[in-house]
Amino acid sequence: MWLNHGGRLVSRLSTIRLGIGLGVLLVFVLHAFNVLHIPLLEQFEHIAYDARLKIAMPGTRDTRIVIVDIDEKSLARLGRWPWGRHQLALLTETLFDHYRILALGFDVVFAERDESSGLPVLERLAAGALQNQPGFLMEFNRMKPVLERDEHFAATLKGRAVMLGYYFRSDHEDTRSPRSGALPDPVISLEEMGRSNVPFITATGYGANLPVLQNAAQNGGFLDNPMVDSDGVHRSLPLLREFQGKIYQSLSLSLVRAILGDPPVTLGITPVAKTPQEVETGLEWVGLGPHHIPVDERAAILIPYRGPPGTFRYVSVVDILDKKADPTLLNDAIVLVGSSAPGLMDLRVTPVHPAFPGVEIHANVISGILDGAVKRRAQHQVIIELIYHLLIGATLLLLAPRLSPVWGLNLTILLWILIIWSNALFWRRTDMVLPLAAPLALTLLLYFVHASLGVFSLAWRNSRWSRLFAQHLPPALIAELEQVGPLATQGKKRELSVLFVNIRGFSTMSARMEPHDLTQLLDHHLTGITQAIHAERGTLDRYMGDVVMAFWGAPLDNPRHARDALRCALKIVASADHFRDEFQAKGWPPLKISLGLNTGAAHVGAMGSRFLTTYSAVGETVNHARRLESLSKRYGVSLVVGVQTRNALPEVVFRELDRIHMRGEAEPVAIFEPVGFVDEVSADLRAELDTYHQALALYRNRRWDEARKRFQLLLERDPERQIHEIHLARIYRLAANPPGEGWDGVFPPRG
């Protein structure tokens, strides 16, 4: 009886183990066919690709490509960007005539006319007040050709291999996206192809160069990259994009074509039968004469990074203009004009570095195409991945139940070695990128299924999950999370309220304090802030020296996250004032803090590596919160909040501080200082705020005198309020130098 019962138990466990293993295998197969999307597996595949790319990078310089750098030295000599077009004309002439370069690409867009010469002012005078002054008109007509700097720059471009950059817009919800400037000629049209089912990335608008410049240049190409991966990393780049039935090339491709003699663009398309009545078209390569560039079905390539930033040589613009650069460096070179100056440099997140200059991405693409070093994903990658999964599944499902845990682990390690070896062989010998993370993950997961029967694996994951949140949440919230389960750790996009807290002047303070006192001060400060965060049901993200980041709205849903975050911020501000006397008694410097609070969508989940994982939030909402914190000192306040936080809190009275440009936002956004909850704000303070916002409206409507009077009155009533002084100073400056007609209220005005 006991033997029969034990046999039935063993058989049942074997059936359960086989069923779980087949279920895991089915999940991976569905993921391979894009029926089931597993974000974590996709992220692992990105990590595996990045690791292979960094290991295989040559790391050598390509002397054929040089970046002419708009660096700080050049800005100090020629003034802030944008420069007058006469400077760019001189740069172009010097590069082609003195240094004899092959081709020149501008990683900038010349979308507006150059009015730095004062020509518009002189034209208005000639048509108005001085139209009856023959001497002025004669001199004006003589000087006008010299002052028309765009035409002068255009004349310099003619007959030279110059490519101008522009950008496309891809707003799929609005087919009437803004269009400015002139596009270069397309390389081909869908009508000429005779096919319309190649899924090119479609643009709905563009921002291009002035027609007079684009028509003078040899060609041009788009600069933007709409194929950024889900983790924000630039791994692929389209060579071709479609707009209104015509196909346009990237800046990198336009430069390659220029030095190859401008061959026509051809497409390698393989018809793949889906059903007897339907044919799917697969794009395999983009051809430039005899050169075939491997691409995916959307005409995108895997960016062939040669090395980290600085792999290509940089030459300062002023060294070019002064003719001090080494001629051997530039002779017969492909030149890209970009910038390394802070504020101008276009930084991208890439597999090889988190802050990679955008101009070097174009350089890497050009270099890889010329060297034939562009990797390609297998055309039938789904089939290859399916074969991987079936072989792994059959091996482990058949052999693992017959092996001990130790020999099962040995078998798993052997399969890992074979998968990595075959993958590396294809990478090196065929330039083909095969899936790696999914086969490795499947192998490991099937081993754990068989080693622990699933139950022990689940217990391990729950334990790991609990340890993850112990450093972020108070015990009371962790108890609530136990009802949610480990799904709370999965990465997802959620609406959060993010708070940053920082000590002003901490570097100076730490240099003057004894280490022991500094440690005590930080402990006191961070403990108080963390207690306030926990009291308002917030999630402590991390400490970064004296900076604290926290957010509300995850891992537990909280429809009042904006209110709780603001209450916490106000508590922290109040506690800083409360502890000022205590710090002074201990001989510590007075503590002044800055806070920034922002609300919006962010990616949140368990992030890190196999060595360290934390529960964190990333995205533009987080970046904007940090920016708001950095602005508090400028406006003389402790706490600055974003517009979405303000909109989420109708029960709170706010003072609008300013309008600013935020990265990632097309239009300027307003920033605010919370004054208090509606039922706590006195009538006098409400009247003062009404006067302030009236003054602010007058200021933005250019009614300088009226705005000045109101701000002056406010300053007399409250001389400690720094924002009144700020707006008064701006009014005096703008009244003397009024902004242009398109002024959006941001100071200083653009242009």
Cα 420 to the chain's mean position, in Å?
31
Q: Output the six-digit token pair for 686.
A: 């409400």
End-to-end CA distance of the chain: give it in Å, rounded: 91
For residues 466 and 460, what is the distance between their CA atoms, to the nearest angstrom? 10
Q: C-alpha distances in angstroms, 431 versus 399, 434, 612?
A: 33, 10, 33
Peptide bond into 555 cis (omega under 30): yes
Q: How many CB atoms lie within 10 A of CB 423?
A: 20
What are the phi and psi torsion angles at 469 (to 5°)? -85, -10
Non-local CB neighbours of 319 within 8 Å, separated by 6+ positions: 325
For residues 330 and 310, what is the distance between their CA atoms, to the nearest angstrom? 17
SS3 595: strand
Q: How many CB atoms lie within 10 A of CB 107?
A: 24
Could you write out the DSSP letters of every residue in 694-749? HHHHHHHTT-HHHHHHHHHHHHHH-TT-HHHHHHHHHHHHHHHS---TT--S-SSP
Non-local CB neighbours of 579 within 8 Å, separated by 6+ positions: 524, 528, 591
| Of residues 42, 123, 342, 361, the one with CA closest to residue 222 | 361
Non-local CB neighbours of 486 within 8 Å, separated by 6+ positions: 461, 462, 465
CB contact at 8 A, 539 and 551: yes
CATH pick for 471-677 out of 3.40.50.12160, 3.40.640.10, 3.30.70.1230, 2.30.30.100: 3.30.70.1230
| Of residues 91, 95, 57, the one with CA closest to residue 310 | 57
Query: Helix (H) and strand (E) counts for the chain?
Result: 27, 28
Peptide bond into 308 cis (omega under 30): no
Q: Residue 567: its pLDDT value, please?
A: 95
For residues 550 and 500, what is the distance between their CA atoms, to the nearest angstrom? 7
Q: Output the six-digit token pair for 419.
A: 């998968």
Could you write out the DSSP letters of every residue in 277-300? TEEEEEEEEEEETTEEEE--TTSE
Non-local CB neighbours of 649 within 8 Å, separated by 6+ positions: 562, 563, 566, 674
Q: Residue type at 270? A: T
Question: What's the half-sphere exposure (Cβ side, CA atoms, 13 Å) at 599?
Answer: 21
For residues 37 and 45, what is the distance between their CA atoms, to the nearest angstrom? 13
CB contact at 8 A, 632 and 646: no
Non-local CB neighbours of 620 within 8 Å, separated by 6+ positions: 600, 602, 662, 663, 664
**Percent composition of the chain: helix, strand, coil (DSSP 3-state, to 5):** 45, 20, 30
Residue given tokens 């300062």 in the structure block: 316
Q: C-alpha distances in angstroms, 281 versus 191, 385, 530?
A: 15, 21, 57
Under-70 pLDDT residues of the chain: 1-14, 16-17, 116-147, 171-177, 194-196, 271-281, 378-380, 401-405, 452-471, 475-476, 478-490, 581, 751
| Of residues 33, 45, 28, the one with CA closest to residue 434 | 45
Non-local CB neighbours of 578 within 8 Å, separated by 6+ positions: none
For residues 270 and 266, what is the distance between their CA atoms, to the nearest angstrom? 13
For residues 581 and 583, what is the distance between their CA atoms, to the nearest angstrom? 5
Domain edges within the chain: 2-37+380-453, 65-111+161-376, 471-677, 682-751
Query: Across the strands, what pairs with 334?
Result: 65, 103
| Of residues 589, 593, 592, the one with CA closest to residue 514 | 589
Statement: the pTM of the whole predicted model exceeds 0.75: no
For residues 45 and 48, what is the distance between their CA atoms, to the nearest angstrom? 5
Q: Residue type at 93? A: E
Q: Residue type at 512? A: R
Q: Residue 269: its pLDDT value, please?
A: 83
Q: C-alpha distances in angstroms, 338 versus 71, 359, 360, 526, 698?
A: 9, 6, 9, 42, 40
For residues 330 and 180, what is the distance between their CA atoms, to the nearest angstrom? 33
What are the phi and psi torsion angles at 656 (to 5°)? -75, 125
Query: Across the strands, what pairs with 431?
Result: none
For residues 143 and 133, what is the distance between their CA atoms, to the nearest angstrom? 15
| Of residues 251, 254, 356, the one with CA closest to residue 311 | 356
| Torsion angle of the four alpha carbons 366, 372, 377, 379, in this order, in degrees rounded to the nearest 10 | 120
Helices marked H in 314-436 = 317-321, 327-330, 358-371, 381-399, 405-430
Long-range CB pairs of 139-147 (<8 Å, 24+ gap) are 144/119, 146/117, 147/117, 147/118, 147/119, 147/122
| Torsion angle of the four alpha carbons 561, 463, 604, 539, in this order, in degrees rounded to the nearest 10 | 30
Model confidence over 253-262: pLDDT tens digits? 999 999 999 9
For residues 18 and 365, what is the distance between their CA atoms, to the nearest angstrom? 47
Strands of 74-161 (E only): list them.
103-106
Peptide bond into 186 cis (omega under 30): no
What's the residue count for the chain? Answer: 751
Cα 225 to the chain's mean position, in Å?
11
CB contact at 8 A, 415 and 366: no
SS3 355: coil
CB contact at 8 A, 267 and 286: yes
